[in-house]
Amino acid sequence: MHKSGFVTIIGNPNAGKSTLMNALLGEELSITSPKAQTTREKVLGILNGPDYQIVFSDTPGILNPHYKLQESMLKSIENSLDEADVFILISDVGEDFKNQGLIERVRRKGMPIILLINKIDTVSQEEAMQKIAYWQEKLPNAEVIPISALYKFQIQRVLDAILERLPEGPAYYPKDELSDRNLRFFAAETIRKHILLQYKQEIPYSVQVEVDAYKEMADLDRICAVIYVEKESQKGILIGKGGAALKRVGTDARKEFERFIGKKVFLDLRVKVLKNWRNDDRLLQRFGYDVSKRRSGQAENPERLAAEAREALEAMEAFALAPDPEGKATEALPETATVPEVEAVPEMDASRAEASEEKE
């Protein structure tokens, strides 16, 4: 008997969805960072065994969309809910789901539910037991499991619970595949991860990484990537004085990607400006985001858009954007911000950073 199916992982921003999938797969497939909205696109991770195949779907955190990129993120969550054979709801032990609409929607779908209480290592035994009892009462038909995705505590129990609920069926993907994504995608995500880790405020959220060229060779992969920002001021901050900040991003991303693919990498990074790309359908489509089925007037009316999204997802807006872990508010950079002088950056550590500009 062979089992197979799709498992959707969903929860608040920063609840540990990507960390959980990486722990289950034994590979760092989805990028992680302390910042909210790290995951922008649905990432499929495929776990294969002799008699099973589990296709995990790591989704963006649920939020109220304020621009078209976030609309696309919200759409990917909804699509994943419709595809799932098993539903994993992951909750930070210090948070609660205040909205009953989401739970009722999942119940009506009739899919098996596994409720994971993450970061259990951060609370006392008494607090943990109270949280378990709370969710057992709220979701009596779900299996409630306290975990620490970061420290892989109870991960085998989670896997066993999934396999118990997985339907019989053939493999959906070849047994040697880890994901439906290609190396270009993972290279771009690795670069974006280190931008998230190194920069604060608006910079990480205004960045899109596109791999222009990826040449696989016997002993060295050559990657050329462009980092797009929305403003000239962001471009200057991203590059840093003399290109030092961008060089750190390139070096750290290169080293991590080398570990991921198991060989050397030459990484060429450039920075360009694409004004307002997060609200441009044409550019979002170019970057691979789903911009279909949007009715006219939504983008110009954020309040109406948020109301329609709440109706479609039955008040999922309870899962608000998590605050910055350092407690700092996210502020837009002023248009008049000073752009540091950019100097030529010499090649170093097989990573090269250059600044250029694209006018559209």
Quick: pLDDT tens for 109-161.
888 999 999 999 999 999 999 999 988 988 888 999 999 999 999 999 999 99
Range of weakest confidence among 60-74, 98-112, 120-134? 60-74
Segment 22-39 mean pLDDT:
78
Distances (CA, A) of 250 to 201, 239, 247, 350: 20, 11, 5, 9
For residue 140, what pLDDT is reported?
87
For residue 284, what pLDDT is reported?
79
Contact partners, residue 281, CB within 8 Å, separation at least 6: 68, 291, 294
The residue type at 220: L
Domain ranges in the chain are: 3-165, 183-355
Split at pLDDT 50, 70, 90, the class of 332 is very low
In angstroms, the CA 89 to CA 161 distance is: 13
Distances (CA, A) of 241 to 3, 198, 307, 339: 55, 15, 43, 9
| pLDDT 10s digits, 304-331 | 444 444 444 443 343 333 444 443 333 3
| pLDDT 10s digits, 194-220 | 998 998 877 877 888 999 999 999 899
Segment 75-90 mean pLDDT:
77
In angstroms, the CA 203 to CA 194 distance is: 12
Integer-rounded Cα Rg, in Å, for the chain is 21
Helix, strand, or coil here: 355? Answer: strand
For residue 14, what pLDDT is reported?
80
What does the block give as tokens for 111?
A: 């899919």
Indicate the burial class of 224 (C-beta count within 10 angstroms; 0-12, 13-18, 19 or more). middle
CATH topology for the 183-355 domain: GMP Synthetase; Chain A, domain 3 (3.30.300)
The residue type at 331: E
Interior angle at CA 233, CA 230 and CA 238, nearest 5: 80
- Return the half-sphere exposure (C-beta side, CA atoms, 13 A cut-off) of residue 338: 4
Q: Name the CATH superfamily, with its identifier, for domain 3-165.
A: P-loop containing nucleotide triphosphate hydrolases (3.40.50.300)
Inter-residue contact 58 to 9 (CB < 8 Å): yes
For residue 112, what pLDDT is reported?
94
Task: Quote the distance between the C-alpha of residue 141 and its chain's center.
Answer: 29
| pLDDT 10s digits, 248-262 | 999 999 999 999 999
Segment 23-29 mean pLDDT:
90
| pLDDT 10s digits, 224-249 | 999 999 999 999 999 999 999 999 99
Bigger pLDDT: 34 vs 277: 277
Split at pLDDT 50, 70, 90, the class of 67 is low
Contact partners, residue 209, CB within 8 Å, separation at least 6: 188, 189, 191, 192, 195, 225, 226, 227, 228
The residue type at 225: A
Other beta carbons within 10 angstroms of residue 238's beta carbon come to: 24
Helix (H) or strand (E) holding 258: helix 244-261
In angstroms, the CA 121 to CA 93 distance is: 9
Task: Quote the distance between the C-alpha of residue 293 and its chain's center.
Answer: 23
Other beta carbons within 10 angstroms of residue 294's beta carbon come to: 15
For residue 45, what pLDDT is reported?
92
Split at pLDDT 50, 70, 90, the class of 282 is confident
Percent of the chain with pLDDT over 70: 70
Segment 259-271 mean pLDDT:
95
Other beta carbons within 10 angstroms of residue 217's beta carbon come to: 10
Q: What average pLDDT is seen over the chain? A: 77
In angstroms, the CA 99 to CA 313 distance is: 11
What does the block give as tokens for 247?
A: 């060089």
Bigger pLDDT: 352 vs 238: 238
Split at pLDDT 50, 70, 90, the class of 184 is very high
Bigger pLDDT: 101 vs 354: 101
- Return the half-sphere exposure (C-beta side, CA atoms, 13 A cut-off) of residue 86: 27
What does the block give as tokens for 357?
A: 């500009």
Range of weakest confidence among 6-15, 159-168, 267-276? 6-15
Residues paired with residue 224 on neighbouring β-strands, in sequence order: 213, 268
